[in-house]
Every structure is written in C-alpha cells, then in structure tokens.
Structure 1
Amino acid sequence: MQDVLKALAEPRRQEILKLLSRSELAAGEVARHFAVSRPAISQHLQVLKAAGLVTERRAGTRRLYHLRPEGLAELRGFIEQFWEDALGRLADAAEAEERRLRGDRGR
C-alpha cells in the first residue's frame, strides 16, 4: 500500500490515472495533456506501473497503458473501514436527532 500512496501523492499521476480510466493510451498521448516532456510522463507511468496501478501492453512498436483498478483494492479496503465507521456514527446521530425531535413535538 505504501507504493500506491507514494504514487498517488503526485497530483500529475492522479490526473494520468483519470485519463487512463477513460481509455488505453500511449505515453505520447498521455503527454499531450500535460505541459511536461514525454520522458517525464514516461517516468510517471513507470512509477504507476511499479505501484501496480497501471499495466502496459505492446501493440506493434507502441506501448499502451491502461488503468489497473485492482491496484487500488488494498487502499480502498483501508479507507472503507473508516468510511463505514463514520457512516455508522452519522446514522446513529441522525436517529438520535429524529428521536429527540419526535420527543419535542410530543410535549
């Protein structure tokens, strides 16, 4: 999970993942969306690949990259435990407020 967090810490990599979530792209196609060099984008793609967030396949002379959503599974599981706890507390608070309001109307 540490590799995923480090990879996602860079905002440009987050944007690359958003692009790749829509379609498979070559590094040059990704680079067109940013004001940085193609080698810089290639480095970002390698970091994302090493973190398991992106896969690469060859199509002739091109290397095409696409999002690997299962690479986020561990991070998602980690975050969901807090989300579920927070939703449970919110539901409890809403129910308590509803009981309080019903009690206030009954007076």
Structure 2
Amino acid sequence: MNSLALDEAFHALSDGNRRSILALVRGGRRPVGEIATELGLSQQVVSHHLKVLREAGLVSGTRDGTRHLYAVRVEGLAVGKAFFDDFWPERLTRLKHTIENAGAADG
C-alpha cells in the first residue's frame, strides 16, 4: 500500500467542504461554478479544495470549452478502501469466535 497516497487522501478528506464537494461530483462531472453555488462557497474556495482533491487523486478535471468539470476518480478512493478492507477479516474472525463461544455457553 502506498502510504504517501493514503496520507494525501486522508488529509484531503479531513475537510468537511472537500467531503461535500466529493459527494456532489460522485454523481457525474460538475463545473466549479455549480459546485460553488450548491455549497454556498466562492469559486475561489471551491477551486482551492478541488486542487487538494485532485492532488490527492480523488477527483479528475477536464475542460469543456471555458468550463472546468470535475468528477470522482474511483481509482483514487481505492487506496482508502484498501486500508479499511484490511480491518474486516480480523473483525469478522473475532465476531465469528464471539458468536461461537456465546452459542457454546448457552448450550
């Protein structure tokens, strides 16, 4: 696992405005102005947050004429998913043992 990419992703996601932006663009490409209006932020603030998200690999930007459109990069989210996926086998094994032991105690 790339720990630098993980650190950048978690840093980018530590800000509530960036999480809100990510939620908006997960449904498809959105222009900066539309994101700003939706969130009640200035375009300058949204542009700053999009830059952080883009540098962390969480969004991609494309041009459509004079507009910059942004969308989620699913590949960028994979580093965080992989980090959390490592916790599940251990937790599921513990849960299984707890249930089995509770069943043995009841029987």
TM over 0.5, shorter chain: yes
Provide structure 2 residue ranges, at least 5 long, that are not aligned to the other structure.
1-5
Rounded Cα–Cα distance in structure 1 between residues aligned with 2:35 and 2:92: 37
1:56: how far off? 0.6
Amino acid at match of 1:74: V
Rounded Cα–Cα distance in structure 2 between residues aligned with 1:33 and 1:87: 40
Q: 1:59 aligns with which of 42, 57, 64?
A: 64
1:83: how far off? 2.4
Instruction: Report the 3-state secondary structure (helix = DSSP H, G, I; strand = E; otherwise coil) of the residue aligned with 2:26.
Output: helix
Question: For the aligned residues, what is the CA RMSD?
Answer: 1.1
Please name the residue that 1:16 is paired with.
21
Rounded Cα–Cα distance in structure 1 between residues aligned with 2:77 and 2:50: 16
Displacement over 6 Å in runs of 4+: none
Instruction: Report the 3-state secondary structure (helix = DSSP H, G, I; strand = E; otherwise coil) of the residue aligned with 1:36.
Output: coil
Q: How many residues align?
A: 102
- How high is the TM-score relative to the length of structure 2? 0.89
Amino acid at match of 2:42: S
Deviations 1:51-96 (A, max 9, x none): 0000011111111100001101122111111122112211211121
The within-5 A match list for 1:44-83 is 44-83=49-88
Q: Which has the higher contact order (CA 8 A, sep 6+)?
A: 2
Rounded Cα–Cα distance in structure 1 between residues aligned with 2:41 and 2:29: 20
Please name the residue that 1:28 is paired with.
33
- How high is the TM-score relative to the length of structure 1? 0.89
Q: 2:94 aligns with which of 81, 89, 94?
A: 89
